[in-house]
Structure formats: structure tokens, C-alpha cells
Amino acid sequence: MELTRIEDVAAASDDDIMVMWAAQGLRGGVRAWALDGAVAVASPDLNRRDRLTVCGPAPEAAKLVRLALPELGPDYRLTGERPLVEEVVRRLPGAKVLGTFEWMDTGRDGGAVRARADEDGGVGWLPPGADGEVTELLAEASPSAWAVPGLPGIRRWAGVREGGRLVATAADAWSAPQVGFIAGVATAPASRGRGLGEAVCRFAIAELAAAYGRVALVVDTDNRSAIRVYERLGMRIVPVAAAALTSA
């Protein structure tokens, strides 16, 4: 069954945070389906990929993926909690796990968000004219960042300056009406180890929690220092995986 209202996606998925983020309020081009406790959401150009996010029992999720595939392009990536994606892949000939990473969020009710915007002096939202500074910082500190100024879905950048120079930043990127999303976190190499990146993330989490209720991000599994920072800020970790749905 195709779902055409965001309220129906929430009900069918038991308000799953990852699914609700993927649904993006069912903006133009996003489609969702439900089958016997499973939900699949197809989101074009979300976080720089066409994504098919799933939740629920693996047999039903695999059936939904089979039903949705003929209506989707070949570039869609299956995304979801790691055990579910791995089981769905085993049920789909030609599918293949491409990588694993960590989803982190503040929990169903916003969690214990250990953040207050007014605790971090000097941190704030940057003006639109700061895009050049952000680009320069990312090139130095995080050249593989998925969020960069100018991409669709990037709403605004938070940052902190020292001596007039931008030294840490994070973006409100690809947020959904029900889930804020943080990306593009970076700290200048010379300024690391002093809590500036954590201060920017604390500010961004507080702001996005106030705006959207819940907040999420993704982080590489081997980036243990970043994971510890996010855990200190009240986020929980959920192992996830991405998979190709065809062998081509």
C-alpha cells in the first residue's frame, strides 16, 4: 500500500526516526509504502544519494523493496539498521552491501539533549555571505565532507571564529519537518582538541531540537572521537548499512 500522508508514514513505521527523516515530510518526489509492519521510503537526492530507507520485519521489507524497485531508478541505495539491511540483501538476488556506518540521534522524544545555545559564547548561525569561509574550512579540515555550501537541502551553517577566522562549523542539512539533521562538521586542524567542534555541535543540536523536536546525523564507524562527542551531547548510536539493489 502506498502512503500519501506523513501521518500515515509515522503510524505505519511506529514513528521510526530514520524513516521519518527519509520521508522529508513527503516533499515532492518522495514516496512511501507499507506492508504488514514494514515501511519503505524512496527519497531522491537525499544527502547526495537516491535512498530507499526501510524498517520493520525483514521478509516484508524485502517484499516492499521488490515491489518498489520497478518504479525507482537503478541508482537507489537501500538504507536502514544494519541487521535489517543485511537480511534484506540476502533475500534479493543481485543486491550487495556497499558499506556500514553509524546513525546517531536524540531518541524518539528528543532524548536528554545536553545542549543550550546560550552556553557556548561565540557560536551562532553564520550569515549567507560566510559560504566562502565554510568552503575554505571544509577544504582544509574535512575535504570529504558530504555537506558543502550550495548543495540543495543545505539550509544554514553554524560556526565559531577565533581572531576573526572561522575555525569550526556544522550544517543544518537535509532536515525533515520531524527530524533535524546535522552534517558538514569540521574543525580547523590547528584548533582541534579544545572543544570548539563540540561547542558548535552542542549549539546545532539545541537549535535543531527546538525547531524539529529530534536531531540526527551519520558518522563513520571508525571515527570514535566524534562518536564520543555526540554521545556526551545525548545522542544514541544505531549501526546502519547501505546496499546496492542491483548487480549492474
Render pLDDT for 153-197 as a digit per residue (tens, 0 to 9). Answer: 999 999 999 999 999 999 999 999 999 999 999 999 999 999 999
pLDDT value of residue 34 = 98
Which pLDDT band holds residue 109 (cuts at 50, 70, 90)? low
Domain boundaries, the chain: 2-102+240-244, 117-213
Burial of residue 114 (CB within 10 Å: 0-12, 13-18, 19+) is middle
N residues, the chain:
248
Which pLDDT band holds residue 36 (cuts at 50, 70, 90)? very high
Angle between helices 82-90 and 58-68 (to 10 degrees): 60
What is the fold, at CATH topology level, of the domain defined by 117-213? Aminopeptidase (3.40.630)
**Please, what is the average pLDDT of the chain?**
93
Cell for 167?
A: 575555525
Poorest-pLDDT segment among 53-57, 58-62, 212-216, 244-248: 244-248
Cβ atoms 134, 166 nearer than 8 A: yes
Tell me the pLDDT tens digit for each residue of 115-125.
454 455 689 99
Which CA distances in Å does 133 have to 124, 128, 189, 235? Answer: 15, 10, 15, 28
pLDDT value of residue 62 = 97
Q: Which residues pair with 124 in a beta bridge?
A: 159
Structure pTM? Answer: 0.93
Backbone angles phi, psi at 81, to 5 degrees: -60, 140
Tell me the pLDDT tens digit for each residue of 197-233.
999 999 999 999 999 999 999 999 999 999 999 999 9
Which pLDDT band holds residue 51 (cuts at 50, 70, 90)? very high
* 211 contact partners, CB below 8 Å, separation of at least 6: 175, 180
Check pLDDT > 60 for residue 28: yes
Closest CA to 234 of 140, 98, 52, 104: 104
H-helix or E-strand containing 230? helix 224-232
